[in-house]
């Protein structure tokens, strides 16, 4: 697939099902993201994965 075809056919989700993302899919996404370019080639990306919406130290 050519780059211009990918850019023109990329799906943009506007609604989410709330279904959990399988770990295998999550790891594949994160692995692919490691090789994505960064602005100014700083490569200072940090990822926080939240699997549970309850934050024990949140006080709420």
Does 60 have pLDDT greater than 70?
A: no
pLDDT at 12 (0 to 100): 77
The verdict on residue 50 lying in a domain is no
The verdict on residue 46 lying in a domain is no
The verdict on residue 15 lying in a domain is yes
Residue count of the chain, please give it.
Answer: 60
Does 58 have pLDDT greater than 70?
A: no
The verdict on residue 52 lying in a domain is no
The verdict on residue 21 lying in a domain is yes
Dist CA 60 CA 42 (whole Å): 36
The verdict on residue 14 lying in a domain is yes
Count of domains in the chain?
A: 1
pTM for the model: 0.55
pLDDT digits (tens, 9 = 90+) for 7-57: 788 777 778 888 888 999 999 988 888 888 877 777 777 888 888 777 667
C-alpha 39 chain-centroid distance: 17
- Domain enclosing residue 37, as ranges: 3-41
The verdict on residue 12 lying in a domain is yes
């Amino acid at each position: 697939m050519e780059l211009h075809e990918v850019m023109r056919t990329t799906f943009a989700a506007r609604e989410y099902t709330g279904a959990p993302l399988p770990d295998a899919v999550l790891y594949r996404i994160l692995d692919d993201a490691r090789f994505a370019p960064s602005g100014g080639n700083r490569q200072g990306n940090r990822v926080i994965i939240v699997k549970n919406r309850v934050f024990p130290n949140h006080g709420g």
